[in-house]
Amino acid sequence: MSIEERVGQLEKQAKSLRLTVLVLAVALCGVVSMAATDGKRGDFDIVTARYINLKNQAGDYVVRLRANPEGDGEISTHSARGNDLVVLTATVDGNGKITTYHPDGKTLVKLTGTEKGGIVKTYQPDGKELVSVNASANGGLITVYSKTGEGIANMRADDYGNGEVSVWNRKGKGRVFDSK
């Protein structure tokens, strides 16, 4: 699979995750509105709470709305076993962050805002990075990692705005291809 295909796949996953979080938030607002009165009916302009949980029929928490430890908002979905599946929150610097997890709790994808733009990272089932798409001072940077977690290829812009591709073998020997 080429880097472009992987980046396209990551962008598609990020779009799906955003849509999923939006649908969950809308559904949560509807459920909270319906459950807030004795007669199970009500019209509200504002619902205020410090923490909102949704449970499945077994009584397990599967969606939570709360403030994270830094005081920013957080929406999270959870498996019936209690593991995080998707967390939408903020970084300590106040940028947005979406993280998706495997049902066993291991991180799969992170989408994070930064001062320079953003970062998308995918992870292998063992927790090692697989692909990283970053914003840098010169433009974009894509890094591909081996199954052992070592960087094996980069695609980026150099200091002059030219394209540059770097590749390495598993012994660390490599080559840089530039557009000069």
In a domain, 162, yes or no: no
In a domain, 65, yes or no: yes
Give me the CATH number covering residue 42: 3.90.930
11-45 b/e with 16+ CB inside 10 Å = b?
eebbeebeebbeebeeebeeebeeeeeeeeeeeee
In a domain, 108, yes or no: yes
**pLDDT for 74-106, tens place per residue?**
999 998 888 899 999 888 788 889 999 988 888
In a domain, 171, yes or no: no
Asked whether 91 and 38 are in contact (CB, 8 A), the reply is no
Asked whether 61 and 77 are in contact (CB, 8 A), the reply is no
Q: How many domains does the chain have?
A: 1
In a domain, 161, yes or no: no
**pLDDT for 26-65, tens place per residue?**
777 776 766 655 455 556 777 788 888 888 888 888 999 9
In a domain, 7, yes or no: yes
In a domain, 177, yes or no: no
What distance in Å separates the CA atoms of residue 88 and residue 96, rounded to the nearest whole number?
8
Name the more confident of 5 and 111.
111
Q: Which domain holds residue 47?
A: 3-136
In a domain, 166, yes or no: no
